[in-house]
């Protein structure tokens, strides 16, 4: 049973190695893993390797690059705020030590993009051993009351699945079928007067054309279909100069470009009627 010895087998194996393996063997001691990729591309171009040959060699080549240092050693993530860390790791589906050239980057990106909080994501290799993941998370904009339920919507008017409304109680409540799609515009206008914006508890979309606002003290503000910003600034100016919203006001109608229509509270109207009656008696 002498035949092939343990020493003779490696000798024949070395003789049978293809050209690219001999080239790679010379490159490896240099200590520059990136050369591996260059060698393979050069071999593919010069030899005109067929697709089947490429597939046969890909696994062996990938393992070789990993041994040479082209393997995942760290994952750098930026932009993660609300996305759960373990959920992100599971979605990437990438393990430390995995060969960099074996990573299915597009597949990993699609899985991460499908997570509830993700607006956009890029996943890229940074040779020799780093995977870089850049996240753009969705921004909670408002709470949407619809069909008896309250959900969190983002700046694009889309529901953020899994977001718990109780955690975003500071957001304004919007009501109406098309309210989420118009909330960003409304909030941008309201931000022009921050102190007045803070007093708005809810916004109701009326007839898919305009908004009614409910302030924290119960005053209703009827905004116009056109000239929204001008009406909002005019209200702020009237409140600053005349303390309009500090009075016994039930509603302010801003739908008319040339005037305000103010409706008093029932108590204020009763007092006014009483005063008028007393004036007539005297």
Q: What kind and span of H or E run contains 184?
A: helix 179-190
H-helix or E-strand spanning residue 250 = strand 249-253
Within 8 A by CB and 6+ apart from 163, the residues are 116, 117, 140, 151, 152
Does position 81 have pLDDT exceeding 80, yes or no?
yes
pLDDT at 184: 98
State pLDDT tens for residues 24-66. Answer: 544 444 445 555 555 555 555 445 444 455 445 455 444 444 4
Q: Where are the domains of the chain?
A: 8-59, 74-137, 140-272
Q: Is the pLDDT of residue 95 over 90?
A: no
Angstrom CA distances, 66 to 61, 79, 178, 226, 260, stand at 9, 29, 53, 63, 73
Q: Kindly state the tokens that stand for 20.
A: 């690219």
Instruction: Tell me which fold the domain 74-137 belongs to.
Output: Ubiquitin-like (UB roll) (3.10.20)
- Cβ-proximal residues to 258 (8 Å cutoff; 6+ apart), any chain: none
Cα–Cα dist 33/72, whole Å: 13
The correct CATH number of 140-272 out of 3.40.50.11690, 3.10.20.340, 3.40.50.300, 3.30.1330.60 is 3.40.50.11690
- Cα 142 from Cα 174, distance rounded (Å): 7
Question: Are the CB atoms for 33 and 69 separated by under 8 Å?
Answer: yes
Give residue 279's pLDDT. 58
Q: Tens digit of pLDDT for each residue in 157-185? A: 999 999 999 999 999 999 999 999 999 99
Which residues share a beta bridge with 135?
Answer: 121
- Report which of 237, 241, 245, 238 is spatially closest to residue 213, judged by C-alpha positions: 245
Would you say the pTM of this structure is higher than 0.95? Answer: no
- Tell me the C-alpha to C-alpha distance, in Å, between residue 48 and each of 40, 42, 45, 54, 56: 12, 10, 5, 10, 15
Mean per-residue pLDDT over the chain, rounded? 82
For the residues 107-111, what does the mean pLDDT come to? Answer: 96
């Amino acid at each position: 049973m002498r035949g092939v010895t343990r020493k003779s087998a490696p000798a024949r194996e070395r003789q049978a190695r293809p050209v690219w393996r001999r080239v790679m063997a010379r490159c490896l001691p240099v200590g520059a893993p990136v050369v591996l990729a260059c060698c393979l591309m050069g071999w593919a171009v010069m030899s005109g390797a067929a697709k089947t040959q490429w597939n046969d060699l890909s696994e062996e080549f990938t393992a070789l690059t990993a041994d040479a240092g082209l393997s995942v050693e760290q994952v750098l993530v930026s932009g993660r705020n609300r996305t759960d860390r373990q959920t992100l790791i599971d979605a990437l589906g990438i393990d430390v030590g995995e060969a960099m050239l074996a990573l299915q980057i597009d597949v990993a990106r699609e899985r991460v993009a499908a997570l509830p909080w993700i607006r956009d994501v890029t996943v890229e290799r940074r040779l020799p051993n780093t995977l870089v993941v850049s996240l753009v998370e969705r921004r909670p904009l408002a709470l949407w009351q619809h069909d008896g339920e309250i959900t969190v919507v983002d700046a694009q008017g889309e529901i953020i699945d899994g977001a718990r409304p109780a955690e975003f109680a500071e957001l304004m409540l919007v009501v109406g079928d098309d309210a989420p799609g118009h909330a960003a515009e409304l909030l941008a206008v309201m931000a022009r007067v921050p102190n007045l914006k803070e007093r708005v508890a809810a916004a109701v979309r009326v007839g898919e054309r305009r908004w009614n606002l409910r302030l924290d003290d119960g005053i209703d503000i009827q905004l116009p279909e056109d000239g929204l910003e001008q009406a909002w600034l005019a209200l702020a100016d009237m409140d600053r100069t005349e303390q309009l919203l500090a009075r016994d006001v039930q509603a302010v109608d801003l739908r008319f470009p040339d005037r305000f229509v103010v409706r008093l509270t029932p108590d204020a109207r009763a007092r006014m009627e009483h005063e008028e009656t007393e004036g007539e008696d005297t």
